[in-house]
Amino acid sequence: MAYDLVNVTKKMRAHIVEMLAAAGSGHPGGSLSATDIIATLYFKHMHVDPGNPLWEDRDRFVLGKGHAAPALYAALAMRGFFPEEELITLRKIGSRLQGHPCRTETPGVDMSTGSLGQGLSVANGMALAGRLDGRDYYVYCVMGDGELQEGQVWEAAMSAAHYRLDHVIAFVDHNGLQIDGPNSQVMNVEPIDEKFRAFGWNAMRIDGHDLDAIDAAIIAAKATEGKPTVIVCETVKGKGVSFMENVVDWHGVAPNAEQAKRALAELAAN
């Protein structure tokens, strides 16, 4: 089934705004910047079965930057893993949708994340298991740019290259901002692609909101043999909501009702 990716990303962004407004807390900026990457994966590339979330041959997804959970939840709900109406239960007691992903509670979530820097190691382990079992699935991991400041990311980068994990495809959602300010001021992470290349990876740098570019990069990554691929995605924090775009304060604050209304009107108009 072919999806209209433009419409998918619009709807995902609207869901993100609505569920964060309903929750009254959460992370809009990094959810909106990662939306196009996650949409392209779940609606164009990943082999998954919403009727059988634990299907052994499925492609895996690890959200290293677990605070972008609203984007993942929107994709999973729209893909049919659970009802879209459930999205507004985000962060509430008794909800299956915790503030950060939880593999035991949410259908379709392959790994519990939220503590930055741990996702890529897990993705490597999934890829090693796939190799041992003779399965051909891919493991996708989306990391934040600030997340690259965690040392474990580079331990895992070393391991993925050492074990030639060409079925690991990582993304860096490079929106340039983290809680305390721009990466360049808090702790410089550039040059990201050169760092990964030096670790033995295939590295690309693309516009992370260009759906065709994301698609092409994934196709190129799948064609790469003998080494893992990282796709450094240049993104805009808060993408799609003008008053959130490139504003660091929207990292971890939910819109109020009036702001959500404005954001939804903007998203509908575009």
Partner 1 sequence: MNSATREAYGKALIELGNTNPQVVALDADLAGSTKSAGFGAQHPERFFDMGISEADMVGTAAGLATCGKIPFASSFAVFCTGRAFEQIRNSVCNAHLNVKIVGSHAGPSCGEDGSSHQAVEDIAIMRSLPHMTVVVPADDVEAYAATLALAEHDGPAYLRVARLASPTIHDEDYQFDLLKGDLLRDGTDVTIVACGMMVPRALDAAKQLAEEGIDAQVVNIHTIKPIDEELLVTCAQKTGKVITIEEGSIVGGLGTAVCETLSEKCPVPVRRIGMFDIFGTSGEGSALLDYYGLNAEHIIDCARELCQ
Q: For residue 170, give Cα distances in angstroms to 99, 214, 221.
A: 22, 12, 9
C-alpha to C-alpha distance for 25 and 268, rounded to whole angstroms? 23
Count residues near partner 1 (CB under 8 A): 36
How many CB atoms are closer than 10 A to CB 248? 18
In the region spanning residues 137 to 166, those forming contacts with partner 1, defined by CB under 8 A, are 151-152, 155-156, 158-159, 162-163
Nearer to partner 1, 172 or 260 (CB): 172
Distance set, CA 35 to CA 8, 211, 228 (Å): 10, 10, 22
If the CB atoms of residues 126 and 218 are measured against partner 1, the closer one turns out to be 126
Binding range to partner 1, per CB under 8 A, among 70-78, 126-134, 180-188, 238-246: 126-134
Of 195, 260, 179, 255, which Cα lies nearest the Cα of 230? 195
User: What binding mask, one character per residue, do residues 67-106 give for partner 1 by CB under 8 A, x or -?
Assistant: -----------------------------------xxx--
Binding mask 43-62 for partner 1 (x = CB under 8 A): -------------x---x-x
At closest approach, how far in Å is the CB of 109 from partner 1?
10
d(CA 67, CA 51): 26
Question: Burial letters for 17-30: b for 16+ Cβ neighbours within 10 Å, e otherwise?
Answer: bbbbbbbeebbbbb
DSSP for residue 27: -
Contact pattern from residue 238 through residue 267 relative to partner 1, giving x for each residue in contact according to CB under 8 A and a dash for the rest: ------------------------------
Query: Using CB under 8 A as the criterion, which residues of the chain lie in contact with partner 1 when the complex forms?
Result: 56, 60, 62, 102-104, 110-115, 117-130, 132-133, 151-152, 155-156, 158-159, 162-163
